[in-house]
């Protein structure tokens, strides 16, 4: 009996060590790569046995990205005591939702882009019908995955409700609609209007990803929401800068489209150097918002610096 108890204690200690190790901070590069793998594996596993062009396009559209949203989901979960196994479905879900948005964004009726991540857009690789359907299916898959997150049912409901809001007309879709309307508007958008537009189009899913941890724990989302709001705007300003200065081959998509279309951007309204300064200020503000988490949030601070220094 003593031997059995010792064995059980040994197994418990091994489990505690494994979980503790998984909750320790990693370098940003390591954590980002890990998030990419977790999200890709989660989506691939969910599509096991699915055949045909729609399933193939779903996998195609969710590979090769930065994995930033998955990283935010996993890292915010870690800060609230959840290991990667518990939060993995949320990481996969947000990358599925993001993949859907990119497929539809590239369509001829939207931004009409032929390249995405250095590869033909889904509607070019297959056709427009496959692009529409695979995007629809990825959106549905996101909610399927959320139902598998390792937290109590009440917290799962919070994740589902908040993701629906972030992805819908009050979030990403609403921002995209404003962006399309701006292309034919009589007057260019103001700085305040662009900020609001991008807070929906780009920022809403980023904010949701960063709120995964506190939502799983039923905790206050304020600090991480502030962090993500500043991070999302810094990310978009960096995108606008790269549209001016970036290399198409390194970016994996066309550059200079906003200027050619006469669209108002952070760069066109602020100027290149002022936009760069504003992105830096937002990154620092995002870091400041993490003060309640102390040094345990160092990896998230590195993420804020990454979004304004990236080359694609």
Tell whether the model's pLDDT for residue 20 goes beyond 70.
Answer: no
When comparing pLDDT for 146 and 259, which is higher? 146
Q: Does residue 12 fall inside a structural domain?
A: no
Q: Does residue 126 fall inside a structural domain?
A: yes
Tell whether the model's pLDDT for residue 102 goes beyond 90.
Answer: yes
Tell whether the model's pLDDT for residue 90 goes beyond 60.
Answer: yes
Q: Does residue 138 fall inside a structural domain?
A: yes
Residue with tokens 């590869």: 119
Q: Does residue 13 fall inside a structural domain?
A: no
As a whole-number percent, the residues of the chain with pLDDT over 70 amount to 88
Q: What is the pLDDT of residue 6?
A: 36
How do residues 173-200 score in pLDDT, each as one tens digit? 999 999 999 888 888 899 999 999 999 9
User: Can you state the angle between helices 172-183 and 191-201, rounded to 10 degrees?
Assistant: 140
Q: Does residue 277 fall inside a structural domain?
A: yes
Asked whether the CA dihedral 221, 223, 229, 234 is positive or negative, the reply is negative
Tell whether the model's pLDDT for residue 3 goes beyond 60.
Answer: no
How do residues 134-175 score in pLDDT, each as one tens digit? 999 999 999 999 999 999 999 999 999 999 999 999 999 999
User: What CATH number is given to the structural domain containing 96?
Assistant: 1.10.600.10
Q: Does residue 2 fall inside a structural domain?
A: no
Count of domains observed in the chain: 1
Is residue 101 within 8 A of residue 205, CB to CB? The reply is: yes
Please tell me the distance from the alpha carbon of residue 270 to that of residue 177, in angstroms, as a whole number: 23
Tell whether the model's pLDDT for residue 7 goes beyond 90.
Answer: no
> Largest alpha-carbon pair distance within the chain?
82
Q: Does residue 8 fall inside a structural domain?
A: no
Mean pLDDT, residues 293-312 taken together: 94
Q: What is the pLDDT of residue 192?
A: 95
Mean pLDDT, residues 123-142 taken together: 98
Tell whether the model's pLDDT for residue 281 goes beyond 70.
Answer: yes
Q: How confident is the model at residue 24 (pLDDT cuts 50, 70, 90)?
A: confident
Please tell me the distance from the alpha carbon of residue 8 to that of residue 5, in angstroms, as a whole number: 5
Virtual torsion, Cα 141, 76, 22, 302, nearest 10 deg: 110
Mean pLDDT, residues 241-250 taken together: 79
Tell whether the model's pLDDT for residue 300 goes beyond 60.
Answer: yes
Tell whether the model's pLDDT for residue 31 goes beyond 90.
Answer: yes
Is residue 131 within 8 A of residue 57, CB to CB? The reply is: yes
The H or E element spanning position 94 is helix 84-105
* Boundaries of domain holding 189: 27-309
Q: Does residue 299 fall inside a structural domain?
A: yes
């Amino acid at each position: 009996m003593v031997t059995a108890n010792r064995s059980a204690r040994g197994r418990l200690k091994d489990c505690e060590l494994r979980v503790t190790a998984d909750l320790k901070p990693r370098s940003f590069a390591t954590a980002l790569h890990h998030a990419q793998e977790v999200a890709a594996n989660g989506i691939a596993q969910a599509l096991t046995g699915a055949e045909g062009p729609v399933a193939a396009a779903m996998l195609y559209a969710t590979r090769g990205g930065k994995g930033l949203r998955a990283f935010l989901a996993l890292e915010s979960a870690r800060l609230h005591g959840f290991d990667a196994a518990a939060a993995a479905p949320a990481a996969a879900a947000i990358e599925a939702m993001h993949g859907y948005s990119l497929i539809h964004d590239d369509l001829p009726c939207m931004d009409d882009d032929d390249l995405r991540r250095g590869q033909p857009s889904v509607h070019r690789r297959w056709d427009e019908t496959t692009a529409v359907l695979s995007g629809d299916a990825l959106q549905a898959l996101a909610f399927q995955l959320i139902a598998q997150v390792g937290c109590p049912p009440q917290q799962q409901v919070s994740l589902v409700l908040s993701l629906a809001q972030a992805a819908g007309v009050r979030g990403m879709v609403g921002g995209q609609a404003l962006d399309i309307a701006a292309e034919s508007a009589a007057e260019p958008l103001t700085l305040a209007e662009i900020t609001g537009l991008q807070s929906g189009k780009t920022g809403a899913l980023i904010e949701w990803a960063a709120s995964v941890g506190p939502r799983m724990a039923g905790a206050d989302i304020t600090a991480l929401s502030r962090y993500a709001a500043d991070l999302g705007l810094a990310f978009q300003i960096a995108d606008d800068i790269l549209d001016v200065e970036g290399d198409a081959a390194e970016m994996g998509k066309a550059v200079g489209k906003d200027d050619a279309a006469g669209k108002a951007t952070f760069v066109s309204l602020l100027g290149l150097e002022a936009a760069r300064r504003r992105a830096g200020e937002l990154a620092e503000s995002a870091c400041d918002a993490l003060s309640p988490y102390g040094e345990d949030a160092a990896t998230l601070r590195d993420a804020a610096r990454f979004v304004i220094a990236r080359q694609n």
